[in-house]
Amino acid sequence: MPEPAPVRELPRGLCRELSFLFTDIDDTLTTGGMLPDSSYGALWRLMRAGIRVVAVTGRPAGWCDHIARMWPVAGVVGENGAFCYLYDRQRRIMKRRYDPRLGGPEDRRALLQMAERVFREVPGTAYSADQAFRISDCAIDYCEDVPPLSLADVEAICRILAEEGAQYKVSSIHVNFWKGNFDKLSGVALFLTEEGCGGLEQAMHRSLFIGDSQNDEPLFAGFAHSIAVGNLRRFLPLLTHLPEYITEADAADGFCEAADLILSRRG
């Protein structure tokens, strides 16, 4: 399978017309678990250029509330599409919209039982440090705050979750799993509907997604235009749907590479 095109081939016309930039957070905006000043500055420059940036992440509701309030973003899609948060800064009102397919308390208990099975059968796994702030899913840490597990271990986690009937996605740091047929793409569609854009199809020609890992594949598949930061190269053999473009640099440096290109071609 050929590698995506270099990001320098991004069309100038798309950059000029761009209204929405949807972006993953971990290892896309961040490097080594930190949000550098370069990424944060790029978010501000994009906003000031009239581009509405939306974070699309597997991170938990508690984090997403903070990000929607404090970062220069138009909103956040969190927990792999379970909800979107939009903060009206003038009226200081947070709008929260949840996917109607979210599971209830019984599903929550079932998820915890699945996690316990993973912990028994795959040594070295643990809940993610942000688990306490989640409302819809569980996250198994395989390299953020635990010694990095092997690819075989990650595959074993996924096998267990598939046997248990859970939906799951592998990020660059966690394996997230949940009950309910939603994903990052459906979360983006929910956000666009709340924004009054009529949904993904109507906004597609002026939207772009940038990400870095396997759990971004629904967006690589669903967006007409998408970019991966350079560190996605290690996941390319595992993907069926590839991004359209890829940066030279990894992680936050790759995000800034793409942002600088978009802004320079925006005129």
- Report the CATH number at residue 52: 3.40.50.1000
Q: What is the mean pLDDT of the chain?
A: 96
Q: Are residues 19 and 77 in the same domain?
A: yes
Q: Which of 178, 198, 229 is the last residue of a domain?
A: 178
Q: Are residues 116 and 222 in the same domain?
A: no
DSSP 114: H
- Domain with 174, as residue range(s), is 105-178
Q: Are residues 189 and 251 in the same domain?
A: yes
Q: By the 8 A CB rule, do 59 and 77 touch? A: no
pLDDT surpasses 70 at 1 = no
Q: Are residues 196 and 255 in the same domain?
A: yes
The string of pLDDT tens digits covering residues 68-111 is 999 999 999 999 999 999 999 888 889 999 998 888 889 999 99
Q: Are residues 115 and 164 in the same domain?
A: yes
Q: Which of 162, 178, 194 is the last residue of a domain?
A: 178
Q: In what order do the strands lie in the sheet with 167-170?
A: 126-127, 137-141, 174-178, 167-170
* Structural domains counted in the chain: 2
- Report the CATH number at residue 171: 3.90.1070.10
Q: Are residues 62 and 75 in the same domain?
A: yes
Region 240-254: mean pLDDT is 98
The string of pLDDT tens digits covering residues 13-41 is 999 999 999 999 999 999 999 999 999 99
Q: Which of 151, 178, 205 is the last residue of a domain?
A: 178
Q: Are residues 13 and 118 in the same domain?
A: no
Among the listed ranges 93-102, 130-139, 143-152, 255-264, which one has the minimum average pLDDT value? 93-102
- The amino acid occupying position 100 is P
Q: Are residues 207 and 249 in the same domain?
A: yes
Q: Are residues 197 and 66 in the same domain?
A: yes
Q: Are residues 150 and 193 in the same domain?
A: no
pTM of the complete model beyond 0.75: yes
The string of pLDDT tens digits covering residues 177-216 is 999 999 999 999 999 999 888 778 889 899 999 999 999 9
Q: Residue 65: is it exposed, middle or buried by C-beta count within 10 angstroms (0-12/13-18/19+)?
A: middle
Which residues does 99 contact at the CB level (< 8 Å), separation at least 6? 81, 82, 83, 180, 182, 186, 187, 190
